[in-house]
């Protein structure tokens, strides 16, 4: 697999993880907001926990993109 192809795939994975993360945060935030209308019990997650879990979902795929950047820096230093 060529370096350019790896970069393209990594960008796609990174973009998809950002979208999943945004949807995750949005859905859970809306669920928390409307939870009080249907139940007297607490939702169980704080907004901080919802945001942190969404950020962690996106961060899981960051090393893939970071490794390609580091490979390019290495190639610049060597070449």
Q: Are 53 and 32 in contact (CB under 8 A)?
A: no
- Please tell me the predicted confidence (pLDDT) of residue 16: 84
Buried b (16+ CB within 10 A) or exposed e, 62-73: eeebeebeeeee
Mean pLDDT by 10 residues, the chain (79 residues): 65 82 92 86 88 86 70 76
CA distance 20 to 26: 10
- Please tell me the predicted confidence (pLDDT) of residue 5: 66
- Please tell me the predicted confidence (pLDDT) of residue 76: 80
To the question of pTM greater than 0.85 for the whole model, the response is: no
- Please tell me the predicted confidence (pLDDT) of residue 70: 75
- Please tell me the predicted confidence (pLDDT) of residue 40: 80
Domain locations in the chain?
A: 3-78
């Amino acid at each position: 697999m060529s370096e350019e192809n790896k970069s393209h795939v990594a960008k796609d994975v990174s973009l998809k993880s950002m979208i999943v993360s945004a949807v995750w945060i949005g859905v859970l935030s809306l669920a928390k907001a409307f939870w009080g209308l249907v139940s007297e019990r607490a939702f169980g997650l704080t907004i901080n926990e919802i945001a942190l879990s969404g950020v962690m979902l996106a961060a899981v795929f960051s090393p893939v993109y970071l490794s390609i950047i580091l490979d390019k820096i290495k190639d610049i230093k060597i070449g």
